[in-house]
C-alpha cells in the first residue's frame, strides 16, 4: 500500500474528486481537526460503507477557537493522522494551510441562529459561526455526496444539519454514534488533558446520563431529574456542571419541567479542572 495522497489546495481537491465523479463514483467526506482517535476512525469507516471513495479533511480551524482556548496547543501530527486514516479506508487527505481557507481580505461568516444559542453557543461565543463557516466551505469545496459528523458534538451536528438545509447544499449529512472507552467515557482528543485522578472520575458522566435518561423515560419529571443529575455529578468529583439538560433532538429547545412526551436528547458538560467533558445520549419516550 502506497502512502495516502494529500492535497493542500481547493483546486487539487476538486481535480481529484472530479476524476472520481467522471468515473461515476460516490464520494464521502469526513471533516476533522486531526489528533485522531478511534471516534474519528469510526466516522471514516462509516463513510466507507456509504461511498466508493472517502476524503478526509484535516484543518485546525482558527475561527472556531475563542481567545484563551487551545488553538495554539491543539495536538498536531499530520503523518500519524494520515497513517491512521489510510488504515481506516481513507482515499485522500485534504489538509489545506490556513491561507488557503482564509485568503487575504476574507470577510464572510455564516451565522446559524436558534440551535446555536444555548449550551456550547452560550459557553463559547463565536464558536458555531466558526464551525458553520468552515464546514460550509469544506462542503462547497468538495461537494461530496455524503458527509459524516459524530454525535459526540451533538449540537454541532444539529447546526450543520440546519445550515446544510438552509443553504441548499446538496450533501447528505450522516450522523455517527459516539465511540466510548470500555468504562463509558466518550472518546475526545481533549481527554488527553485529564490527570489520572480526573480520568478516574470521568466515566461517572456517562453513568449519570444513562441513569437520569432512564428515570425520565420511565415518567420522572424532567426538571427534578436534571437537578438530581447535577448533584450526583458534583458528588462524584466533578468540579462543575455547566449544563445537564433534556432538549428536543432536532431544534434543541429545552424540555420539561414535567414528564417527557416524545423523543429527547440529554446533553451535558461537566468540568474536571479546566477540561470540559461533553457527552449526550438519546432518550426514548
Active site residue 40: yes
CB count in 10 Å sphere of residue 206: 21
Local structure of 32: helix, strand or coil:
strand
Q: Quote the cell numbers at residue 269.
A: 458538560
**Alpha carbon 53 to chain centroid, angstroms:** 22
- Strands in 264-272's sheet, in edge-to-edge order, are 240-247, 264-272, 275-283
Size of the site for ligand PAF (CB under 6 A): 10
CA distance to 24, 25, 57, 170, per residue, from 145 (Å): 11, 10, 15, 7
- By CB under 6 A, tell whether 41 contacts ligand PAF: no
Among 48, 134, 171, 216, binds ligand PAF (CB under 6 A): 134
Pick the stretch among 69-77, 129-137, 165-173, 206-214 that binds ligand PAF (CB under 6 A).
129-137
- By CB under 6 A, tell whether 42 contacts ligand PAF: no
Pick the stretch among 25-33, 168-176, 191-199, 244-252 that binds ligand PAF (CB under 6 A).
25-33
The residues in 237-266 that bind ligand PAF, with binding defined as CB under 6 A, are none
- By CB under 6 A, tell whether 133 contacts ligand PAF: no
Please say which residue, 131 or 179, places its beta carbon nearer to ligand PAF. 131
Among 51, 85, 131, 139, binds ligand PAF (CB under 6 A): 131
Contact 94, 143 (CB under 8 A): no
Local structure of 280: helix, strand or coil:
strand
Residues that bind ligand PAF (CB under 6 A): 31-33, 61, 64, 131, 134-135, 153, 156
Which residues are identified as catalytic? 40
Amino acid at each position: 500500500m502506497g502512502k495516502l495522497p494529500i492535497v493542500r489546495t481547493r483546486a487539487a481537491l476538486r481535480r481529484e474528486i472530479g476524476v472520481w465523479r467522471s468515473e461515476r463514483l460516490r464520494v464521502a467526506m469526513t471533516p476533522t481537526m486531526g489528533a485522531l482517535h478511534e471516534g474519528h476512525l469510526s466516522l471514516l469507516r462509516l463513510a466507507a460503507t456509504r461511498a466508493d471513495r472517502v476524503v478526509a479533511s484535516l484543518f485546525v480551524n482558527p475561527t472556531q477557537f475563542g481567545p484563551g482556548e487551545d488553538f495554539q496547543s491543539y495536538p498536531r501530527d499530520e503523518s500519524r493522522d494520515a497513517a491512521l486514516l489510510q488504515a481506516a479506508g481513507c482515499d485522500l487527505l485534504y489538509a489545506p494551510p490556513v491561507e488557503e481557507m482564509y485568503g487575504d481580505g476574507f470577510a464572510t461568516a455564516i451565522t446559524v441562529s436558534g440551535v446555536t444559542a444555548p449550551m456550547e453557543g452560550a459557553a463559547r461565543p463565536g464558536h458555531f459561526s466558526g464551525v458553520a463557516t468552515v464546514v460550509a466551505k469544506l462542503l462547497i469545496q468538495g461537494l461530496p455526496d455524503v458527509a459524516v459528523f459524530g454525535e459526540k458534538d451533538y449540537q454541532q451536528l444539529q447546526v450543520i444539519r440546519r445550515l446544510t438545509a438552509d443553504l441548499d447544499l446538496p450533501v447528505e449529512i450522516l450522523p455517527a454514534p459516539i465511540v466510548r472507552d470500555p468504562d463509558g467515557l466518550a472518546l475526545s482528543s481533549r481527554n488527553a488533558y485529564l490527570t489520572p485522578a480526573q480520568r478516574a472520575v470521568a466515566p461517572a458522566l456517562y453513568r449519570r446520563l444513562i441513569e437520569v435518561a432512564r428515570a425520565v423515560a420511565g415518567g420522572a419529571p424532567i426538571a427534578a431529574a436534571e437537578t438530581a443529575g447535577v448533584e450526583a455529578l458534583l458528588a462524584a468529583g466533578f468540579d462543575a456542571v455547566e449544563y445537564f439538560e433534556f432538549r428536543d433532538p432536532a431544534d434543541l429547545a429545552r424540555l420539561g419541567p414535567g414528564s417527557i412526551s416524545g423523543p429527547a436528547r440529554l446533553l451535558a458538560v461537566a468540568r474536571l479542572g479546566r477540561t470540559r467533558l461533553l457527552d449526550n445520549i438519546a432518550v426514548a419516550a
